[in-house]
Chains A and B, each alone.
Chain A
């Protein structure tokens, strides 16, 4: 320690005097990481969308073309896949909000502090299990004659089978914690006296919810929806496991990488979720919800 001080002292004095050098030393590595490894990789991928492949060997040919985008726009199948993906992501978000709101409300406002801690643990526990295990568990439950069929049999009906409904159910289950937690945090921050004051003024529960809770909770709601929406939009595994014959936008990307070996086309297809998410985030930013994150 003493021996090192002889060097450390002048170095720290020098750095103290030179603010720019200090900043450079501090930030150069993380900035390098963000720019080269993260943004650089992203840029390379997006650049690849303008290339093409040799139809026989599948080797990428660095020849500038907009053919990939033309195919994506002109073929009706990609339009319907894109719309389907948006619909699934939106529905998963709605389902998660409907389930998470009462849960979060109970956790934040009704449960005792002890029960609250236990409930938070219970919400977090599924995140420890592998995504695949959970998705395959739903495959078994939704299978012909599985648990879902058995539960619904007394009502004279049967489960949805594999398909889009099964995909929405499974995705809603998978991403539920990402909706419950922001809502719980948001509700916890609303002071109880506000709710009491609203009741004192004669507002019923629904009116209090609409005029007091919802405006204050909106940023948390948006924060949760960013997670559920973007995670659903990017998912391609669940739909392969429980989706029957359905395919979503990310499957087009995945299939073109693994099956078609057509990286440029996959890159072009990747523009869709990126544009949607950028649009979504810009819209969210307008509402000011990002500040609450």
Chain B
């Protein structure tokens, strides 16, 4: 009995191997890392009546319905106007957003530049017919047809807004006020255990950006285009930083709570987190653009290739790009609005000046999140490290 069972097990294993090798044979011809062609996804030609529902994947603070702050609500007016009930799912990182979009359950996403092209080339999003989005006409010109939101002059989304990853600190704990990213990378920092950092492989770019000045011999020109030697240097810096870090954050509520409880006192942040902490009035914080410059994001609303509620999504894209709503989102999140006319609707009249909303030069100086690829983004050829490599290095950083 026993031997027979063993034989059948061996047979089963053999069968499994057969299946495996069959699978392997069928596609072994595909080349590794070849730049894929953009999958053909049809574009909408008209927008009809809303379907009654809208499922979004968005950054925290992009679809506020008044639950965080009663005065901050642009979801309910949209629902009343269009009859599209908004179901928002927060994505904590770009990677999470790509994964969520792969599930096929969502109509649209507010994607940053390190997600957009992955979505486009993965066939997960459809090109956007900008003629169906009236508010697109007055979007800042320097945000149109950019490499992260279009492919051969075809827009794949509606620009939403852009901003920087800032350095924030608790002013009661950290003194004197830091002016450089060295505050979070200096191994002899007096704030050991109170430093925090963003828990995503894309944070490697922040280390690479910092290394540009102290280690010019590395010749880093773009923090998203790192050859193996440059990547190793950035990873080494991050491994040393780990000794200072008390906690990494990916969930923005966790970041807020960590600062308010005093577990974190210094680290990289988004303006919206600083705003939430300031609104809670538990600890005093300040957030700045350090002297080395910053990484940042430029976000785009994209429509899913297989959206179940495409009309509602088109209505949402127009709504979020409308001057009043775009001003509200931008002020709540703390970013530069993509809509030129939004500047007339901000509560703080100096808002657009503060955030350099119309300042093309300032915008161009930010290193926007971009997906690292083997084909170097700075044009050095096929010698760079790709995002899969970054992901594994990030696991190694955390130890």
Seen from chain A, the residues whose Cβ lies within 8 Å of a Cβ on chain B are 43, 47, 50-51, 53-59, 61-65, 71, 75, 77-78, 80-81, 139-140, 143-146, 161-162, 244-245, 247, 252, 255-262
Establish whether residues A143 and B26, one from each chain, have CB atoms under 8 Å apart when the complex forms. no
Question: Cβ of B262 < 8 Å from any Cβ of A?
Answer: yes
Task: Check A62–B118 contact: CB distance below 8 A.
Answer: no
Write the nearest CB–CB distance from B285 to chain A, whole angstroms: 15
Give Cα A65 to B102, complex, Å. Answer: 24
Q: B28 an interface residue at 8 Å Cβ cutoff?
A: yes
Q: Are the C-beta atoms of B246 and A59 separated by less than 8 Å? A: no
Report the Cα distance A256→B386, complex, angstroms.
15
Q: Are B96 and A260 in contact (CB under 8 A)?
A: no
List 7 extra interface pairs beyond A56-B118, A144-B262, A261-B99, CB under 8 A. Answer: A55-B386, A56-B35, A56-B373, A64-B24, A81-B399, A259-B99, A260-B392
Q: Is A247 a contact partner of B27 (Cβ separation < 8 A)?
A: no
Query: Cα distance A47–B18 when bound, in Å?
Result: 12
* Set B36, B95, B374: member contacting A258, Cβ < 8 A: B95
Tell me the interface secondary structure of chain B in the complex: helix
CB atoms of A257 and B99 under 8 A apart: yes
Give, as a whole number of angstroms, the nearest-CB distance from B226 to chain A: 14
Q: Contact between A63 and B27 (Cβ–Cβ < 8 Å)?
A: yes
**Given known contacts A56-B121, A62-B27, A256 and B261 CB-to-CB distance under 8 angstroms:** no
Q: Identify which of B27, B95, B98 gathers the most chain A CB atoms within 10 Å of its CB.
A: B95
Instruction: Decide if B247 touches A245 in the complex (CB within 8 Å).
Output: yes
Q: Is B138 part of the binding interface, using a Cβ–Cβ cutoff of 8 Å?
A: no
B391 touches A162 (CB 8 A): no
Q: How far is the CA of A97 from the CA of B21 in the complex (A)?
A: 47
Least Cβ–Cβ distance between B51 and chain A, in angstroms: 28
Chain A to chain B contacts (Cβ below 8 Å), 16 pairs: A50-B24, A57-B36, A58-B102, A58-B118, A61-B27, A63-B24, A77-B395, A77-B399, A80-B399, A145-B261, A161-B263, A245-B242, A255-B395, A259-B95, A259-B200, A259-B201
Alpha-carbon distance between A225 and B99 when the two chains are bound, in angstroms:
35
Contacts of A261 in B (CB 8 A): 95, 98-99, 102
Would you give the shortest CB distance from A63 to chain B, in whole angstroms? Answer: 5
Residues of B within 8 A of A53 (CB): 388
Docked complex: B1-58 residues within 8 A CB-CB of A: 16, 19-21, 23-24, 26-28, 30, 32-33, 35-36
Chain B, residue nearest A257 (CB): B99
A257–B391 alpha-carbon span in the complex (Å): 11
With known contacts A62-B23, A64-B20, A259–B391 Cβ distance under 8 A? yes
Total interface residues on B, CB under 8 Å, equals 49
Residues of A within 8 A of B32 (CB): 55
**Measured CA separation A55–B374 after assembly (Å):** 9
Is B245 located at the chain interface by the 8 A CB criterion? yes
Q: Is the CB of A244 within 8 A of B122?
A: no
- Say whether B248 faces chain A, with CB atoms less than 8 Å apart: yes
> Would you call B95 and A64 a contact (CB within 8 A)?
no
Known A-B contacts A56-B371, A59-B122, A261-B102; A143 and B391 likewise in contact (beta carbons under 8 Å)? no
User: Within the assembled complex, what's the spacing in Å between the Cα atoms of A110 and B208?
Assistant: 64
Which residue in A51, A58, A145 is a CB contact (below 8 Å) of B262? A145
Distance (whole angstroms) from the CB of B215 to the closest CB of chain A? 24
CB of B93 within 8 Å of the partner chain: yes
- Asked if B398 is an interface residue, CB under 8 A from chain A, the answer is yes
Q: Between A and B, how many residue pairs show CB distances below 8 Å? A: 119
Query: Chain A residues with Cβ under 8 A from B248's Cβ?
Result: 245
> Which chain A residue shows the least CB distance to B121?
A57
**Which B50-83 residues have C-beta < 8 A from chain A?**
none
Residue of B at shortest CB range from A78? B395
Contact of A75 among B35, B247, B257, B396 (CB under 8 A): B396
Q: Does B284 contact A (CB under 8 A)?
A: no
A47 touches B20 (CB 8 A): yes
**In the bound complex, what is the Cα–Cα distance between A255 and B199 (angstroms)?**
10
Determine which of A81, A143, A262 lies in contact with B261 in the assembled complex, contact meaning CB atoms within 8 Å.
A143
With a cutoff of 8 Å between Cβ atoms, the chain B residues found around residue A162 in the complex are 246-247, 263
Which residue of the partner chain, among B24, B122, B200, contacts A62 with CB atoms under 8 Å? B24
**B-side contacts of A78, CB under 8 Å:** 395
Q: Could you tell me if B245 and A63 are in contact, using CB atoms closer than 8 angstroms?
A: no
Nearest CB of A to B100, in Å: 9
Q: Decide yes or no whether B191 CB sits under 8 A from chain A.
A: no
CB of B387 within 8 A of chain A? yes
Smallest CB–CB gap between B162 and chain A, Å? 23
| Cα A80 to Cα B386 with chains together (Å) | 25
Q: For the complex formed, measure the closest distance between the CB of B302 and the CB atoms of chain A, giving whole angstroms.
A: 15
CA–CA, A175 to B23, complex, Å?
A: 42
B290 close to chain A: CB less than 8 A? no
Min C-beta distance of B258 to chain A, whole Å: 8
Chain B nearest Cβ from A106, distance in angstroms: 36
Contact present for B242 and A50 (CB under 8 Å): no
B193 at the interface (CB under 8 A from A): yes
Cβ-closest chain B residue relative to A51? B23
7 interchain residue pairs of minimum CB distance: A64-B24, A57-B122, A260-B391, A144-B262, A143-B261, A259-B95, A77-B396
**Closest residue of B by beta carbon distance from A43:** B16
On whether the beta carbons of A71 and B392 are closer than 8 Å, the reply is: yes
CB proximity of A7 to chain B, nearest CB, Å:
40
In the complex the two chains form, is B246's CB within 8 Å of A64's CB?
A: no
Complex alpha-carbon distance, A257 and B93, angstroms: 13
* Known A-B contacts A56-B36, A57-B118, A71-B392; A259 and B386 likewise in contact (beta carbons under 8 Å): no
